[in-house]
Amino acid sequence: MGQGLAGSLLAWHLLLEGKRVLVVDRDEADTSSKVAAGLVTPLAGARFNLPPGLEERLDYARRFYWEREEESGLGLFHHRRIARLFRDAREAEAWSARLATAGANYARFHAPLVIDPTRFTIPHGGFEMLEGGWLDVPAFLEHTRVYLLERAAYAIGKVESGEVDVSARGVRWKNVEATAIVFCEGWRSADNRFFDWVPMRPTPGDILDLEIPELADVDRILNKGGWLLPLGDGRFRAGSTYHPGGSKTQPTEVSRCEILAKVAAITSATTTVTRHRLGLRPTIRRSQVFMGPHPSFPRVYFFNGLGSKGVLNGPWHAHRLASHLVRGEALPPETDVRDPFL
Ligand SMILES: Cc1cc2nc3c(=O)[nH]c(=O)nc-3n(C[C@H](O)[C@H](O)[C@H](O)COP(=O)(O)OP(=O)(O)OC[C@H]3O[C@@H](n4cnc5c(N)ncnc54)[C@H](O)[C@@H]3O)c2cc1C
């Protein structure tokens, strides 16, 4: 239930396992998935950590998106180098320290910076981040929706958790009966009677569409804390704001200025804002995914918490959850929503 990134990824995995699904979605504008830039940034953050399982999840995600492209003929995942420009001397030092202590682990992810220093502001240097890119998330969602519609597996609607009846044999919602229901509601899970105890902390994020004609030939992603994503013909997406615990639901002038300041730190080229949107990232514990059955209702499931790394982490987790649902395989313990310390 819910056709954002989480619901879409899980639906694909269940269909690929030969299962029947019905995905019900509210069909809202400006959900987290519809607003997201879709970036895959292997070395995110100012300390350039290599998160546990990164390579396995990255390889899995790229293969998964590539298979969707191959079967649809659509361009969904765009492999792009990321010019990672250091914000200050501390970041440059942090990167040097990483290479000095664990260089072999990073070899796959970097190359020397190749960029015209007269067009960008690069006082502290940087590197080319490899193995990243971006998913056109709205295109992926639309491809998924059409695929589901063709299989009579999609409906527009709002599933109220109070309308879901659970018995030992299965679940029932209106006239739909199923062996299980999986709630993939993003930040709205806070209103779900089964999962309102999960500490969901939506993180608002603003994002801008820009025109920068001077940079029309740029084809790589630029990242200096803030990022610029080239969409072609001098059009860019820029972002984003990340304020955990924020409660706003509409884009604000303050956030617009914050993003434009980030862009100005990358380039002094003239920019025109053409669109400003806001989405609410479903954040539970940073970008850690939580999933699995309800502690008391084993046919009622949760798949959520993709945070700011849904494109990279989502496919691997959807695979693990589908394997659990279909074959009873164990969930990765750190993702289990039944964790009493959640
Ligand atoms: C500004 C911004 C930039 C981002 N950039 C990136 C990025 O570069 N890379 C990245 O990986 N991630 C990024 N993210 C995060 C990414 O958007 C999320 O990780 C991911 O999209 C969350 O997907 P979801 O399916 O869990 O939630 P959602 O996208 O919120 O989807 C939930 C869906 O369920 C539906 N729904 C909810 N309740 C009900 C109900 N009761 N009945 C029926 N349907 C319901 C909603 O309408 C929605 O369609 C960004 C987010 C924002 C806001």
How many A from CA of 182 to the centre of ligand 1?
A: 15
Q: In the structure encoding, which two tokens stand for residue 341, read together? A: 């310390």
Closest-CA residue to 198 (of 143, 158, 161):
161
Q: What is the pLDDT along the chain (342 residues), one digit of tens a residue?
A: 899 999 999 999 999 999 999 999 999 999 999 999 999 999 998 899 999 999 999 999 999 999 999 999 999 999 999 999 999 999 999 999 999 999 999 999 999 999 998 999 999 999 999 999 999 999 999 999 999 999 999 999 999 999 999 998 899 999 999 999 999 999 999 999 999 999 999 999 999 999 999 999 999 999 999 999 999 999 999 999 998 877 788 999 999 999 999 999 999 999 999 999 999 999 999 889 999 999 999 999 999 999 999 999 999 999 999 999 999 999 999 999 998 677
Task: Say if ligand 1 is within 6 A of residue 26 CB.
Answer: yes
How many A from CA of 119 to the centre of ligand 1?
A: 34
Closest-CA residue to 339 (of 285, 287, 290, 304):
290
Task: Say if ligand 1 is within 6 A of residue 42 CB.
Answer: no
Contacts of 333 (CB under 8 A, 6+ apart): 339
Task: Say if ligand 1 is within 6 A of residue 279 CB.
Answer: yes
Residue 243 CA, chain-centre distance (Å), reads 16
Within 79-193, where are the H helices? 89-106, 137-150
Element (DSSP H or E) covering residue 279: strand 272-281
Q: Distance (Å, rounded) from C-alpha 277 to C-alpha 237?
A: 11
Task: Say if ligand 1 is within 6 A of residue 193 CB.
Answer: no
Q: Using the 8-state DSSP alphabet, how is residue 288 labeled?
A: B
* Closest atom of ligand 1 relative to the 205 alpha carbon: 1
* Closest atom of ligand 1 relative to the 7 alpha carbon: 25
* Threshold 0.95, pTM exceeds: yes
User: How many C-beta atoms surround the C-beta of residue 330 within 10 A?
Assistant: 10
**Which residue minimizes the CA distance to atom 1 of ligand 1?**
205
Burial class (CB in 10 A: 0-12, 13-18, 19+), 117: exposed
3-class SS of residue 261: helix
Contact assessment for residue 81 and residue 130, using Cβ atoms and an 8 Å cutoff: yes
Task: Say if ligand 1 is within 6 A of residue 266 CB.
Answer: no
Task: Identify which of 1, 5, 43 to mutate to test ligand 1's pocket (most ligand atoms within 8 A of the CB).
Answer: 5
Task: Say if ligand 1 is within 6 A of residue 158 CB.
Answer: yes
The residue to which tokens 């519609």 are assigned: 149
The residue to which tokens 């309308």 are assigned: 163
